[in-house]
Chains A and B, each alone.
Chain A
């Protein structure tokens, strides 16, 4: 009887969409190891927007104020060099994060993000993110550690590419 009342209350109050969203966020590199309630708070602080193919999410050189998480669809990151040559840096899909450098430093964007497939993208304002981290420093440490791991992997990849170019 007790269990059935609990089951009824759970059925009445449990938000299945929220559970799906949390499961999705748990898989994102910078949110690894976070507890459900912390992920829930980060999710609360985010906005969601529909993007259509060809839309520019942000431009190279623009002030970086937000970090983006792809829920569905695709995004291409490209960078134009001094000779106006455009180099595609990465093609991203669901569950991938971009613009995360804005979390660390307030500098102009180093690449342009263009939508290659219709979908939804979560946006998080960096100052809101920072205030969440200040409110719970343990979460802040965990996220910063995850960001350091991501950046370290990127640096290693970049070094390997450079070595390969030199070798060629």
Chain B
């Protein structure tokens, strides 16, 4: 019996190893498929609401796709022209902004040297911030052909992702039913529990984060627009995109907005107003959006979040960054269920009622 268990464990480990090897090797190929399935998963409750009324699943999905396409076209007509205009405007103003940034750094360096000179003498001349905005800009421009290739690669994703999510949504629960049919009967209840817990936590978390980011992005656009800051839509979109990463919305979004205000208006009161806007959005996010939208989903400690994001970046670059938090949520659900299972087995052995 022990020997059987040993060989079963060895074969399971080998299978896991082969699976991980294939996953790593085909990571970039599998990614758009994973994104497609993730989108299908996120949209599934909406389709379920209609199928629960007795409507055919595939027809509901077609109607949903057509509606999304219409909304997407309208949204693009409303959002894309100002976004393109703002990106072009920013690109055209980059040399001017770079010069202003260099002047600012130069002034800052000379100020530091002036203050430090009485204390450390001639060595104060070595106190400089080694940053040249024009050099950084040249570096970015040199990498443009490489980035253009990435954009072309992303073009393929635009076709693959909706295609995969369409089939994912059309089949719905049939995927999971097939998985149950393959699972030995003694593990069916455990698999059912795992999938239900995962769905309750990960699904709520991902949907919550999307709604939260959308709200933060919209508040940023509206706030900056009413303050008369240039490129409000671009800054809002960037803030919404970085929002799922802890602390990044105020740091990257707020930082870019402050720089923009400095370049555009050079007004201390406006800088202060933008800082207050980002602090207010952060407070609304912390005390209204997160408790309301994410309240019932999984709670990850900010330190765990930051660690998982850093680990994700280290392991998989940008893609690791995207998948870091969902992977951590899955890991947390697995650990919680294992721990819960151990506790329940302990109480059953002790003859107690399991609560």
Contact = CB atoms under 8 A, between A and B. Distances in A.
Interface of A: 12-15, 18-19, 22, 36-37, 40-41, 43-44, 47-51, 55-59, 61-66, 105-108, 123, 125, 127-128, 131
A127 B192 CA distance: 10
A14 B177 contact: no
Interface of B is mostly: helix
Contacts of B185: 51, 55-57
20 contacts: A14-B56, A19-B54, A40-B51, A40-B54, A43-B52, A47-B177, A47-B180, A49-B177, A51-B185, A62-B189, A63-B348, A64-B189, A65-B189, A65-B190, A66-B188, A106-B353, A106-B354, A123-B180, A127-B196, A127-B200
A4 B197 CA distance: 45
Interface of B: 48, 51-57, 59-60, 173, 176-177, 180-181, 183, 185-186, 188-190, 192-193, 195-197, 200, 341, 344-345, 348, 353-355
Q: Which of A12, A18, A63, A106 has the most CB of B within 10 A?
A: A63
Given A14-B56, A15-B55, A128 B177 contact: no
A11 to B, nearest CB: 10
Given A47-B192, A123-B188, 14 more contacts: A14-B55, A15-B55, A22-B54, A40-B52, A40-B53, A48-B180, A49-B183, A57-B185, A66-B193, A107-B353, A108-B354, A125-B192, A125-B193, A128-B200
A50 B181 CA distance: 6
Contacts, number: 95
A125 to B, nearest CB: 4
B341 to A, nearest CB: 8
A108 to B, nearest CB: 5
Given A49-B177, A61-B348, A107 B354 contact: yes
Contacts of B53: 36-37, 40
A123 B348 CA distance: 23
* Binding site secondary structure of chain A: mixed
Contacts of A61: 348
A36 B55 CA distance: 12
A19 B186 CA distance: 31
Given A47-B176, A48-B177, A63-B348, A127 B197 contact: yes
Nearest to B55: A13
Counting chain B CB atoms within 10 Å of each CB, which of A49, A65, A127, A128 scores highest? A49
B52 A106 contact: no
Contacts of A22: 54
Contacts of B200: 127-128, 131
Given A44-B48, A49-B177, A106 B54 contact: no
B58 to A, nearest CB: 10
A136 to B, nearest CB: 12
A124 to B, nearest CB: 8
A6 to B, nearest CB: 14
A49 B188 contact: yes
Contacts of B60: 13
Contacts of A50: 181
A108 B190 CA distance: 14
A47 B189 CA distance: 11
Contact of B52 (A37, A66, A105, A127): A37
B344 A106 contact: yes
Nearest to B185: A55
B340 to A, nearest CB: 10
A66 B54 contact: no
B193 A65 contact: yes
B197 A41 contact: no
Nearest to A102: B189
A127 B55 contact: no
* Chain A CB within 10 A, most for which of B52, B60, B197: B52
